[in-house]
Amino acid sequence: MPNTQQIAENSMLRAELELLMKERETLLIIAGAAAGLIAELNTEDLPIRTVEAADLLATTINKLPEESLQDALTAVHATIDD
């Protein structure tokens, strides 16, 4: 039978896990929105500093595992056109 301390620890872990899952969902939405923005940019019309910032963002997004990137795109109802 679990003791009071174990119950309290389990409750704290459950709360922390729920918080992390909410944060992950928010980060997926941000990554998905950023990926969508990058996909729509026409770099010929942008100043070089903006293109460099977009390139940094795109490079960072591309470091996501494929499954996470797909989750991010799904979070904002976007798709990757091949």
- pLDDT for res 70: 92
pLDDT digit string (tens) for 21-80? 999 999 999 999 999 999 888 889 899 999 999 999 999 999 999 999 999 999 998 766
Separation CA 6–CA 58 (nearest Å): 44
Task: Examine the pLDDT at 82 and tell me if it is beyond 80.
Answer: no
Average pLDDT over residues 3-7: 92
Separation CA 70–CA 45 (nearest Å): 28
Separation CA 29–CA 52 (nearest Å): 22
Residue appearing with tokens 């939405």: 29
What are the structural domain ranges in the chain? 4-75
* Helix 4-40 and helix 48-61, axial crossing angle in degrees, nearest 10: 140
Task: Examine the pLDDT at 81 and tell me if it is beyond 90.
Answer: no
Taking the whole predicted model, whether its pTM rises above 0.95 is answered as: no
